[in-house]
């Protein structure tokens, strides 16, 4: 193959990738926003469970933190899904998932940075939530989002 053909193939793949970006970001936001909402609703429906869990992890003020996390996941999850304040919400979720890793999955963190067992890190509960939040934070909410209607498209894309 000559470089011209490779260049054309690369350009075609880039066009396809850009075309898929918007629907992919929409699906990620809708699915993971709903998952955050459901997780928060589960915590909110019985605050004693997350409170006890947070206490077992020696998180300060476990009941207050359980309320904060439940409300953040419920409201933030819905905002994430519809693409409202998306990068701000994504940043909050990233912070929350890092705290979740540090407090409830220290073995997974150690596996990643200690003896590099990435499988243990990606198998931990917070991973998919963290990955979704990182993707949306990095690439924005996509064109089908309230942020895109409210703000200039250039502010939400890059």
* 28-51 burial: b if 16+ Cβ within 10 Å, else e: bbeebbebbbebbeebbeeeeebb
Residuewise pLDDT in 10s, the chain (158 residues): 577 999 999 999 999 999 999 999 999 999 999 999 999 999 999 999 999 999 999 999 999 999 999 999 999 999 999 999 999 999 999 999 999 999 999 998 888 887 777 888 899 999 999 999 999 999 999 999 999 999 876 544 54
Give the CA distances from residue 127 to residues 7, 32, 95, 112, 133, in Å, rounded to whole numbers and listed in that order. Answer: 36, 12, 12, 12, 10
Q: What is the span of the domain harbouring residue 92? A: 3-157
Q: Model-level pTM? A: 0.88
pLDDT tens column, 115-133: 777 888 899 999 999 999 9
- Distances from the Cα of 121 to the Cα of 22, 96, 131, angstroms: 28, 16, 12
Total domains present in the chain: 1
**Cβ 76 vs Cβ 92: under 8 Å:** yes
Longest CA span, the chain: 65
Helix (H, G, I), strand (E, B) or coil at 63: helix
């Amino acid at each position: 193959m000559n470089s011209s053909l490779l260049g054309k193939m690369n350009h075609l793949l880039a066009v396809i990738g850009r075309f898929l970006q918007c629907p992919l970001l929409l699906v990620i936001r809708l699915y993971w926003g709903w998952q955050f909402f459901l997780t928060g609703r589960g915590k909110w429906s019985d605050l004693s469970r997350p409170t006890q869990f947070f206490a077992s992890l020696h998180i300060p003020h476990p009941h207050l933190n359980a309320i904060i996390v439940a409300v953040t996941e419920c409201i933030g999850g819905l905002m994430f899904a519809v693409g409202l304040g998306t990068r701000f919400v994504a940043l909050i979720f990233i912070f929350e998932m890092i705290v979740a890793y540090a407090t409830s999955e220290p073995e997974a963190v150690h596996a990643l940075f200690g003896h590099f067992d990435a499988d243990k890190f990606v198998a931990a509960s917070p991973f998919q939530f963290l990955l979704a939040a990182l993707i949306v934070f990095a690439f924005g909410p996509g064109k089908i989002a309230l942020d895109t209607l409210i703000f200039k498209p250039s502010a939400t894309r890059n």
